Structure 1
Amino acid sequence: MMSGTAGQLGGTAAKSGSKAAIRIGYAALYIVLIAVAVFQIFPLVWLLFFSLKNNQEVFNLPPLALPTNPKWENYAKVWSAGNIDVYFFNSVWITIAATVLTVVLGSLVTYAITRMKWKGSSFVLGLFMVAMMIPVHSTLIPLFNMFNKAHLIDHPLSLILSYVAFNMPITIMILLGFYYALPKEVEEAAVIDGCSVNRMFFRIILPMTGSVIATTGIINMIYNWNEFIFVNTFISSDAYKTLTVGVQNFIGQYTTDWGAIGATLMISILPILIAFLFLSDRIVEGIAAGSVKG
């Protein structure tokens, strides 16, 4: 009896010890995650304080010091006098147009490669994957010559076409695993019911891939919104410039309005940050679905 009781006490102590170790492990994990979160938020806090300062406060105060007199007028100045309202609208519609076009075309290509049987499917897929290895900078001169001959220099279409071309390979790569795992029984039932290929894709396949489409959409959106090289190369008039190059308006030969630059950067960050917050669950779901099912 004594030995049995001692064994029970020993087992209870071991269980309590393991529970304590688990709690300590979770506490350490939360501490690390909080530290990482603070480290990630630090640039945003710094940028907010930066955007509310004048040039003297930017250079004389510590980076995280609150401005003595917050200059909210920096935001009004860049929005109206700095032409940021036009740049913001251009960034929005160009980003949306390029993202939608890339996701739709990428879905069509992926569907044709994964769900249809034709001889050149592997070759076409290989071409798209090879395109991922082409540096953006090496294509600037050929693209400029091509758009110049097509009279698309200083035209938004040059940006949209460039974004679609360079985002298509990564979009297809993300979609591949999900499309390979789609059950063929759904398509077979649709064919038996007399459904055409086009209707099957838009009415059946596309809605089934909503989570992975959200993933590819936010990735395309971030790239298109923050892109600078193509805008700076192909666009020269203020009517078509985007936010990434609009910051240069506040950099002069002799003076630079640093507070206005900070306000412009803050305005450019907010849409992507809001979109990511609303779509973060779908992004994780799409990545997990593509990786596990593929």
Structure 2
Amino acid sequence: MISGTAGKLQGLTKSPGAGMVGKLGYALLYAVLAVVAVLQLFPLVWLLFFSLKNNQEVFNLPPLSLPVHLRWENYEKVWSAGNIDVYFFNSVWITIAATLLTVVLGSLVTFAITRMKWKGSSLVLGLFMVAMMIPVHSTLIPLFSLFNNTGLTDNPLSLILTYVAFNMPITIMILLGFYYALPREVEEAAVIDGCSVNRMFIQIVFPMTSSVLATTAIINMIYNWNEFIFVNTFISSDAYKTLTVGVQNFIGQYSTDWGAIGATLMISILPILVTFLFLSDRIVEGIAAGSVKG
């Protein structure tokens, strides 16, 4: 009787109707995903067309229409006359410096909390987790007062220190799950062979966490690259401004160059967009790896 029931179920699963329903389901799923993809790409396409127009075309033409003449000179103007090349370089090196510092310090803290026994480790971890509940911009005035008293206003170091401080909690939280899942046998074997703690971290643990480190690095890069309020508050010299603030150069009291603004926004989006497209699989891999404990 059981074998007969199993045979009937097997026949149902292999029936043409079931296969057709499955194909229709996949077709519907891909159709929905295609619509979502188009909706996600719509702002980028609109911004590209926007950056190739002048002010008259921006207001008189439909949003997704191309101008009569593609004004690629908007990009040349913002790169040379608009000082965007300086802002772009500042965004690159400040983002890289803050990201590297955050990843290294976050790895050291996580290693100390998960692999070393010392009093106060739980308290330190709790303080980092509590820091995630503090609204970032509620600290704007205290930070400005601190940097002003220490001579760090209008200094890129103020941005790097701020980015590291506010990105450390989320970095540690992502690393924690991965460190808890690492096998201790490898470290124990290294200790038996006479490996020191520092050497074990640099040569064994740090390389083993490369996937989750890539995840934290990308998340940090996106935040650091797009951050606006701290740059606008702490930095006043054009020599240290980043792209997010540099777009204001094309907003005047009586006129605004909308095409130049669009070109600046397009330039600011492309690096982080390309980075995300090439490394998005590492984000999923790292988060999935860090979500399992034990």
TM-score, normalised via structure 2 length: 0.95
Match of 1:231 in 2: 231
Match of 2:176 in 1: 176
Match of 1:105 in 2: 105
Match of 1:52 in 2: 52
Match of 1:115 in 2: 115
**Aligned residues with identical type, % of pairs:** 83
Q: RMSD over aligned Cα, in angstroms?
A: 1.6
Write the distance in 2 (CA, Å) between the matches of 1:223 and 1:14: 50
Write the distance in 2 (CA, Å) between the matches of 1:197 and 1:271: 38
Unaligned runs of 5+ residues in structure 2 are none
The aligned runs of 1:66-215 (5 Å cut-off) are 66-215=66-215
Bigger shift: residues 59-68 or 15-24: 15-24
Deviation string 1:7-46 (CA, Å, 9 cap, x unpaired) is 98x9368622221111111111101111111110000000
Match of 1:250 in 2: 250
Deviation at 1:122, TM superposition (A): 0.6
Deviation string 1:74-102 (CA, Å, 9 cap, x unpaired) is 00000000000000000000000000000
The aligned runs of 1:276-287 (5 Å cut-off) are 276-287=276-287
> What count of residue pairs does the alignment treat as equivalent?
289
Residue 92 of structure 1 aligns to which amino acid in structure 2? V
Write the distance in 2 (CA, Å) between the matches of 1:182 and 1:12: 45
| Secondary structure class of the residue paired with 2:182 | coil
Match of 2:289 in 1: 289
Deviation at 1:284, TM superposition (A): 1.1
Unaligned runs of 5+ residues in structure 1 are none
Deviation string 1:228-284 (CA, Å, 9 cap, x unpaired) is 010000000000000000000000000000000000000000000111111112111
| Secondary structure class of the residue paired with 2:238 | coil
Deviation string 1:167-195 (CA, Å, 9 cap, x unpaired) is 00000001110000100001001101111
CA shift in 2, pair 1:142/1:193, >3 Å: same
- Contact kept? 2:12, 2:18, Cα under 8 Å: no
- Contact kept? 2:212, 2:285, Cα under 8 Å: yes
Deviation at 1:141, TM superposition (A): 1.0
Deviation at 1:293, TM superposition (A): 4.1
- Contact kept? 2:181, 2:292, Cα under 8 Å: no
1:221 aligns with 2:221: yes
CA shift in 2, pair 1:227/1:121, >3 Å: same
Write the distance in 2 (CA, Å) between the matches of 1:117 and 1:83: 52
Deviation string 1:128-166 (CA, Å, 9 cap, x unpaired) is 000011112211111111111111000000000000000
Match of 1:240 in 2: 240
| Secondary structure class of the residue paired with 1:82 | coil
TM-score, normalised via structure 1 length: 0.95
| Secondary structure class of the residue paired with 1:292 | coil
Write the distance in 2 (CA, Å) between the matches of 1:146 and 1:252: 32
